[in-house]
Structure 1
Amino acid sequence: MMNSTQVSYFILAAYFDTGGFKYLCFMVILSLYVFILFGNVLLIVVICMNRSLHEPMYLFLCSLFVNELFGSTGLFPFLLVQILSDIHTVSAPFCFLQIYCVYTYGTIELVNLAVMSYDRYLAICYPLQYNTLMTYRKVATLISLTWLFLVLENVCTLILIVPLQLCGNVINKVYCDNYSVVKLACYDTTVNNVYGLVVSAFVIFCPLTLIIYSYVRILRVCFSGSKQTRQKAVSTCTPHLASLLNFSFGASFEILQSRFNMNGVPNILRIFLSLYFLTCPPLFNPLMYGLNLSKIRVSCKNLISNMSSWY
């Protein structure tokens, strides 16, 4: 039996030998990371530089894109190194750091999407009072509280797992995961499990309740409102709903895979689905919002054309 101070590294057992294909995998993953960096950084720059985009909806989007850069950077550089490595191990401190980054990304993403649904609810259901209900001060407060609370909450998660006495160091994934480490504990982990359930209920149930309430009210207004109201709701809510469903699918599978035995699922499919919520939202969200929101689309074209003229 060994405690956490004796576990200097963890073995990531989900990797398998791909032979010469590892260089192809490396190039594919690197390309995805470059696209994620380019798309998210481009939209952050566009929103920050264009004063006409300094509106609540776009400021919440900027927070979303910053979080996706944070989550991607917590995964992709590490993944690229592991793909080229023949020994798939990770030091304990770095493993805990990655757990913190992944969980912070996931919780901020969901809460940010909930705040965005609340913003759309106010814009569609109370268009005349929107500017007084959603002030810049309120936007700053919502974004600050989202980041501050969840950054600190995930520090508490780390405080609970770092001292655990572990009886093994094998994690059956391609990146470090909180629940996988907890399952290696030698002794009772009731405190970790109870804390995890309470936090999950709060971080998942509360945002989902707000999202459902917001869209029920939006749908009610759409069915009883004018054609113009319905068109506005469709144009602004479609990318948000697509983003929400995209993230929810990946996060749901990740939760199921962590909690239940998924040995019946092929290994390559398990790896793909475990990476889905860390890869697809950061990849597709800039594309969805960039194409669907005309202000962002026009601003992106102007920025790219201006950059081209410089050369």
Structure 2
Amino acid sequence: MTSSYLIMDNVSVVRFFILSGLNETSDYKVTLFTFTLLYYCMILVFNISIIMIIVLDQNLHEPMYILLCSFCMNGLYGTTGFYPKFLLDLFSSSHQTSYECCLLQAFVMNSFACCELSILAVMAYDRYLAICRPLHYQSVMTKQKVSQLICFSWFTPFCILSINILLTSRLKLCGVKIDRLYCVNWVIVKLACYVSDTFLINVTVHFTMTIYISHGLFIFWTYMHLIRTCVKSKDDRVKFMQTCVPHLVSLVTFIVAVLFDFMYMRFGSKDLPQSHHNFIAIEFVLIPPVMNPLVYGFKLTKIRNRISRSYIFFK
């Protein structure tokens, strides 16, 4: 096995990481590869279908559907950061990943999660305006405003995570073992030789957490107003069931998956079987990317009708 360290001036420079989470996969590589490939193809088909339907249908060029298109694109972004590499890693005998590739994957996986919550917050704001402030909706949610909100939901996580990864890349590391199926920034930081070197990273991590906890509080605030408004009107209740329920399902699924992974990564027991650990770690790239396009495709009337017309046409 190629050495994972390069010795320079009595300092160990990490060249590779070892993904020990892959150790459990050695006995059923072919089966796991087949099902993972089929599942990834399913994710691609579902999300690309929703994106193409929205792009090609002029009637769907409305803020809610444009935001949904961005949501599905983020699903493709995050899953592409995990599945192709995981499929290649299944047949790697050493389970090694290069230092640069690991940092890149850590950036993609972390920025995907942050983008997901940002987009969900923007979608909640859109529903709040549509139901609670309908008279102001058209004047507020202009094409320019929607473009700005989408840029905010992508650009902000990318900037924050770029800083985090840059600070991580400057750490001196005293370990190469990553107890997961993929690279994640916090696990790499825990391999630092000196705790004092991680001070700035801890500051940026807590800053990032504050920002995205505020996103969650904002979503909670919007739904408090939405529920209060919808209780008073039957029409608003119908609109809530059609457009807000898919958003709530996506939100709850994503938050539960991320919280499980976060809590286990910080406080989890080492006695938990590796297979259980692996499932907890990949929940947020396993369930939401398939469930989101399905929920929105079946629940939103315009998209459901467009899918039905396409099915009848091809039939």
1-side partners of 2:84 and 2:246: how far apart?
A: 28
* 1:155-178 alpha-carbon deviations (Å, 9 max, x no partner): 111110001001111111110011
User: Which residue does 2:214 correspond to in 1?
Assistant: 206
Q: Describe the SS at the equivalent of 1:251.
A: helix
Alpha carbons of structure 1 residues 53 and 193: separation in structure 2 relative to 1, 3 Å: same
Q: TM-score, normalised by structure 1?
A: 0.94
Q: Describe the SS at the equivalent of 1:67.
A: helix
Unaligned runs of 5+ residues in structure 2 are none
Alpha carbons of structure 1 residues 5 and 64: separation in structure 2 relative to 1, 3 Å: farther
Alpha carbons of structure 1 residues 141 and 165: separation in structure 2 relative to 1, 3 Å: same
Alpha carbons of structure 1 residues 127 and 24: separation in structure 2 relative to 1, 3 Å: same
Residue 276 of structure 2 corresponds to residue 269 of structure 1: yes
User: Which residue does 1:196 correspond to in 2?
Assistant: 205
1-side partners of 2:260 and 2:57: how far apart?
A: 38
User: Which residue does 2:227 correspond to in 1?
Assistant: 219
User: Which residue does 1:125 correspond to in 2?
Assistant: 132
Q: Answer whether contact 1:46 1:303 (CA < 8 A) is retained.
A: no
Identity of aligned residues (%): 36
Q: Describe the SS at the equivalent of 1:263.
A: coil
Residue 288 of structure 2 corresponds to residue 281 of structure 1: yes
- What is the Cα deviation at residue 32 of structure 1? 1.0
- What is the Cα deviation at residue 133 of structure 1? 2.0
1-side partners of 2:141 and 2:185: how far apart?
A: 36
2-side partners of 1:19 and 1:226: how far apart?
A: 57
What is the number of equivalent residue pairs in this alignment? Answer: 306
Alpha carbons of structure 1 residues 77 and 206: separation in structure 2 relative to 1, 3 Å: same
Residue 242 of structure 2 corresponds to residue 239 of structure 1: no
- What is the Cα deviation at residue 19 of structure 1? 4.8
2-side partners of 1:205 and 1:247: how far apart?
A: 14
User: Which residue does 1:165 correspond to in 2?
Assistant: 172
Q: Which has the higher mean CA deviation after the structures are superposed, 286-295 or 189-198?
A: 189-198
Residue 301 of structure 2 corresponds to residue 294 of structure 1: yes
- For the aligned residue pairs, the C-alpha RMSD in angstroms reads 1.7
- What is the Cα deviation at residue 205 of structure 1? 1.6
**Equivalent of residue 143 in structure 1, options 122, 144, 150:** 150
Q: Answer whether contact 2:12 2:173 (CA < 8 A) is retained.
A: no
Unaligned runs of 5+ residues in structure 1 are none
1-side partners of 2:166 and 2:267: how far apart?
A: 25
Counterpart residue type for residue 148 of structure 1: F
Residue 187 of structure 2 corresponds to residue 180 of structure 1: yes
- What is the Cα deviation at residue 18 of structure 1? 4.2
Counterpart residue type for residue 220 of structure 1: R
Q: Answer whether contact 2:54 2:60 (CA < 8 A) is retained.
A: yes
